Structure 1
C-alpha cells in the first residue's frame, strides 16, 4: 500500500484516476498540520444520501484524502490483515476509513477536498460557493457540464487552470460587494465568474449555494450545505460573467482578471439593469496567507472602483483584505 521507507515523506495523498488536484493548495493546506501526529484528512460528499450510505465521517476517495506519515507507517504494518475484515465494504476509501477507525483516529474535515461532484448538469452553483479554504481537488469532472460556455470539459478546465497558475490560493474564493447607486449585489468567484444580482441580498443569502444542478443517478436532493433555488426564467437570474483571461503585472504585482458576460436573449432596462455591462475587470494581489490565516481564514472584501472606460459597459472591482472591524453588508 505505502512505501514508508523514506523519512522525507510527510504525507500520503490518495485520489482516483479522475481526481484533479491543485498541488500548491494541497501542500499549503497540509502545512497547517503536524505530520508527526496522526491525521486522516479529507471531506465527504455533497449528497446527504451518499454520506448516509458510506459514512458521514469518511473521506471520500473521489475528492481525495491525506494520511500523515506517522499514521500511514502504523497502518501499513497491519493493513492487509485489517482489510480482510472488511470484504463487504465498497471501495478502498471505505476500507482505509474502517482501518483508521480501528486505530482510534477520526476524520479531520478539510473543505478544500469537498468537490466530490455527486451531481450532474450545471455545477456553477457549487463552484461559486466554494468555502474560504483553498481548493484542493475536483472530481467527476466528466459528470457535469463544461464549466465555461462554448467549451469541452477538457478545454474548460485548461482555461480554469490558466487562472490557477497565476494565483492558485485565490481560485474560486468569493468576495461580495454592493453597488449603492443601482442596488446591485456583486459576487466575485475569482478566476471563474462574476455574478450580479439586480437587487440587494444579505450576505448570508448570497453565500447559500445556488441549486443549478440535478442530483446524479436518482440520488435524493438533500445536501450537506445550504441551498437556494434558481429562478426558472434565465432572465430573472443573476447576470453571469465568465473569466476571459488573467494577467499579472511584473511591476507592482497587481493581478487583473477579466470577465465577459454570458448573454441571454433578455429584454432589460438599459439604465438600471446589470445586463448593460459587457465586461468586469477585477484587480487583486496574489493571495499568500500565513499559517495563522490558513488556520482561521477570513473572506476578503471588494470595492467598486472608478472606471476610465466610457459608455458604461465596463465595471472595475478591487479585492483587498478587509479592515479589522469591517463588516460586509448592504450600505444604506
Structure 2
C-alpha cells in the first residue's frame, strides 16, 4: 500500500492536505481536472499539486478514485467540518499503517532524558519515505530539533500515548515471533540430541536389553528426564534416568522440575551433554554427569546463574 509513496516528490504540508480533502473534494465527488482548476484559482494554492496529493491520499486510504472522480473515504468524511480532529485522525492512520507495514518499529523510538521527551531515530526511516516524514512534521506529530549534533526529531507530547500503544504492540509481536522461532529451534536441537543419546545408549547396553530403552519425552514432557535406560548390560531393571541437553559454549538451561527429579533420583540420574556439531564425528561421546544435583549444583566446575525468581507471600 505504501509503496506508492516511495520516492514521491511531494512537498505539501498540513494546510494543503486539509484544504484538498475538506475544501476541494468535500462531501461530493470531483473530477481530477476540476480539482486542479479549483486549486489554481484558490488564494495561495496555485502551486498545489493535485496529482501528488491524490497519490498520497490514495496510498493511505483517505480518498477513492473511480472513473476519474475523487471522493473522500467514508471513514473520515464525518470529520470534514473539524480540521483539527481530521488532522489527528490522519496522523493516527499514517502511524498505524507505518507500523503495520513494518516501516516503523519500537526500535526507532527512545526516551531523550536530556529533553525529557520521546525521540525518533530519523536515520532508520528509509530515505524513499521522506515525504511521509515531512508531512508528519507539518502535521505536528514530529518536532525537529536542530543543535550542534544535527537535526533530531521529538514526538509531540500530544501523540506520546499513540506511539506507546503501537510500540508496545510491536514489541509483543516481535517478542512472540522470536520466542516461537527459538522454541522451534530448541525443539529441533533437543530432538536431534535425544535421538543421538538413544542410539548411543542402545550401543552401550547392547542386545537384548537395548530394545527396552525408551525415549519417554515423546509422551511425558514433565517427567524431569528424557530417556530411561540401564546402568549396565547386567541390569535387571531400567534404572538410569537421563536428561539430554544440546549444549553450546553458552551453557544450557536446567528446569526446577528437572533439578528436583535429579535430587530425588540421586546417583541414578544423569545429564548427557551433547554438542550437536560433533555428533557425526567418529567415536564421539557426550559428556556424562552422574548425580548432577550434587556434581553440578554444588561443584566449583560449574557456574550456576538464576535467570529469574518466583516469589510469593508465605
Same fold (TM over 0.5): no
Instruction: Normalising by structure 2, report the TM-score.
Output: 0.24
Instruction: Normalising by structure 1, report the TM-score.
Output: 0.24
The structure in which a higher percent of residues are helix is 2
The structure in which a higher percent of residues are strand is 1
Larger Rg: 2
Structure possessing the higher relative contact order (Cα contacts under 8 Å, 6 or more residues apart): 1
